[in-house]
Amino acid sequence: MELFDTHCHLNHPDYDDDREEVAARARSAGVSAMLTIGYDMPSSRRAAALTAMDGVYAAIGVHPESAKEWTPESQSELRGFWDASQNRVAAYGEIGLDYHWDTQPRDHQQQVFAEQIAFAASLDPRLPLIIHCRDAQDDVLRILRESATPAPVVMHCFTGDTDTARACLDAGCWLGIGGVATYKKSDALRVAIAYAPLDRLLLETDCPYLAPQRWRGKRNEPSYLTAVAAIVADARGISPEDVAQATTHNARFVFRV
């Protein structure tokens, strides 16, 4: 069973003492590819550097909570990451809007989000976008629509209900499903997982955050992606192997790796 973790943070300091061992456990569990996501400039640097590891790809970009880091200097550095290792930089993100924490003014978040969509297109019009959306779906979908981006769009850490899924799917997005789907109170999410077309689902861990129920409260890691595959399979009434095959195919199609 081959799996693709489409959103992990192997660049996080939580892995500084055992990063190689974590990656080895993932490969032993069948996770053949791991997309390591940047969320600010330091983490984007680390993500790009970690593509030297077997099976590790990178996404680079500035998270809405770090919107103040979006400067001409950071844009130049991000372009440099792309130019130096574009065959291993497989996506742009995570970018988007976060109205839950509201650590940055909303108008500035929206400006930076729109500018980063355009910036990603200047690197490659088909460079996939990894979207962070928290309590901001209407504005996220509006800005994506106004951008008219031809790039694949992944709604990272999708936790919504069927109506939310429908809105994202109608906008042409893929849904990133993670450990939240295993939580006892996530019934509406599991219904949405059953509703969505299988060819629009991707699996992710978002590690070190949001570990599946079995490990909840502990550090998450890519090897736990098997638990996500299992809950998606249960929700849809198919085998984990079928989920793994389909979602890995989806990921390789979206990220072109």
**Nearest by Cα to 44 from 76, 3, 11:** 11
Question: What's the pLDDT score for residue 101?
Answer: 93
User: Tell me, what's the pLDDT at 87?
Assistant: 86
Tell me the H-state helices in 15-136.
19-28, 41-49, 72-85, 106-123
Helix then strand count (H, E) for the chain reads 9, 8
Residues lower than pLDDT 70 in the chain: none
Q: Determine if the pTM surpasses 0.85.
A: yes
Q: Which domains occur in the chain, in start order?
A: 3-255 (3.20.20.140)
If DSSP states are collapsed to H, E and C, what string results for 45-58? HHHHHHHHCCCEEE
* pLDDT computed for residue 245 by the predictor: 99
In angstroms, rounded to a whole number, what is the distance separating the alpha carbons of residues 140 and 209? 23
